[in-house]
Amino acid sequence: MFRNLTVPGKLVLLGIVFSLPIVVLLYLLIKEQNIAIEFGQQERKGVEYIKLVRQILHDMQKHQVAFLTGSTDASTLEKQIDQDIRTAQEVDSRYGKEFKTTHALAGLAEKWSTTRSLVLRSSSSGKPESINSAYDDLVGKTIFPLIIQAGNTSNLILDQDLDSYYAMDSVINELPELGQLIGQAHAHAVDLLLTRENSESKKQLISFILARIEPALETINNGLQTSITENPSLRSKLGAPIRAHIESVQAFDDMLRRQVLDAGPSEFSRVDLKSVTAIGLKTLESNYALYDASANVLDGLLEARIDKFNSRRSLSFVIVGISALIALFFIASIGRSISRPLAELKEVTDRINKGDLSTPADINRHDEIGQLADAINRLQKTLQSGGKLKTAA
């Protein structure tokens, strides 16, 4: 089969054979890059989803305190929570199937409705302790599992780069947990101040919560500082929110210890509820300001990673395309360098066959084709010499 192929055909076949491993390697490389791109895109979807659940969590924590204190903001926050849930459901209609969150989000909405109707609107169950317990149950059994579910199924939990990993850990685990601890300490302090019960058991509960806040804050700070060390460009985005949050939490802790936990009966009776409420809400705001900064950093890192893989994929196509053009150029050049002199030699041998010995092969080369041309020219001269001898005889 190969004997019947022309020289250019053989060269093309040879090029195809040698190109096959390169094509396979290119395919595997592009496939790997596509997997990395799809992985990052899935993570970004997870960030988008979790940020909406974070808004529900924040508004519920604010509503808890507003309801406890009888603030007029409670009604506005109820409507805002309903809107938060509807917004999350709209996004869930796009991502819920792949994240497997639709059932959990529906459970959150149902739990919120039940909590509002049975606890918040019931005069018999409207005690501060009952309200705080209902909110703890709502957050612990519906919101936290929903955040973790979205983090698991969107690949966020599998992130391997140090800078984005600790940003992810803060967004999915640490900051929501710290926010809940702050909210619990705040709500239980409000409970104490509303009833003006200088209850040691309630104070012990607040003290226990404060004891958990300090290591939680340290874990967040250490993780985000690791992100900054790994990627110094993040300092400008995370440095200020980290410092502000640490100062806010320390001020909140100090305020609760001085005005609530360590206060004597007379001092405790004079504690200003509005001041405590304002500091607690400010601390919650600083927690979610750091949350938003971390989430934006995480999303930016994922976007940059996707862009990097897209650039690598494009570069791979460009390199392979240029290599293919160069290979085709060389194949064509080599083919012409072989086929043209062979065609010329064929013409010379055809003329010799017809008795024309006057035109030698004009090929000045030092390879095998040049040697063949020299041999044909020598044969032509030999035939010329033999013809002259016959004529002379």
Question: What does R_g of the chain's alpha carbons equal in angstroms?
Answer: 40
Pairwise pLDDT comparison (72 vs 265), residue with the higher score? 72
Note the pLDDT of residue 50: 96
Q: What is the pLDDT of residue 387?
A: 60
Q: How confident is the model at residue 7 (pLDDT cuts 50, 70, 90)?
A: low
The per-residue pLDDT for 5 is: 66
Which whole number is the average pLDDT over 244-267? 88
Q: Is 148 within a domain?
A: yes
Give the structural domain span for 98: 49-304
**Spatial CB neighbours of 227, under 8 Å, sequence gap ≥ 6:** 162, 163, 164, 165, 166, 167, 234, 238, 297
- Euclidean distance between CA atoms 224 and 230, whole angstroms: 10
pLDDT band of residue 320 (cuts 50, 70, 90) is confident
Torsion of CA 167, 173, 178, 184, to 10 degrees: 150
Position 333 in a domain: no
Residue 194 maps to a domain? yes
pLDDT band of 92, cuts 50, 70, 90 = very high
Give tens-digit pLDDT for 228-253: 999 999 999 999 999 999 999 999 99
99-113, 117-131, 221-235, 362-376: range with lowest mean pLDDT: 117-131
Q: Are 294 and 170 in contact (CB under 8 A)?
A: yes
Nearest CA among 114, 283, 108, 270 for reference residue 187? 283
Kindly state the average pLDDT of the residues 93-121: 88
- 138 is a domain residue: yes
Average pLDDT over residues 191-205: 80
Supply the pLDDT for residue 123: 47
Looking at the 3D structure of the chain, how many domains does it have?
A: 1
Taking 80 as the threshold, does the pLDDT of residue 183 lie above it? Answer: yes
| Separation in Å, CA 352 to CA 359, 368, 374, 389, 392 | 9, 21, 14, 18, 21
Residue given tokens 């035939």 in the structure block: 383
Most confident of 139-153, 196-210, 313-327, 362-376: 139-153
Q: Can you give the pLDDT at residue 122?
A: 56
Contact 369, 338 (CB under 8 A): yes
Q: What is the mean pLDDT of residues 251-269?
A: 84
- Kindly state whether residue 226 falls inside one of the protein's structural domains: yes
Tell whether 80 is covered by a domain: yes
Q: What is the mean pLDDT of residues 107-112?
A: 93
- pLDDT for 281: 93
pLDDT band for position 43 (cuts 50, 70, 90): very high
**Residue 155: what pLDDT?**
92
Residue 148 confidence (pLDDT) = 95
Residue 56 is predicted with a pLDDT of: 95
Mean pLDDT (the chain) is: 86
Q: Is the pLDDT of residue 175 over 60?
A: yes
Average pLDDT over residues 345-360: 79
Q: What is the pLDDT of residues 380-391, one digit of tens each?
A: 788 777 765 555
Q: Quick check: 303 pLDDT over 90?
A: yes
Q: Answer yes or no: is 393 within a domain.
A: no
Name which of 154, 155, 168 is nearest 98 in CA terms.
Answer: 154
Q: Is residue 153 domain-resident? A: yes
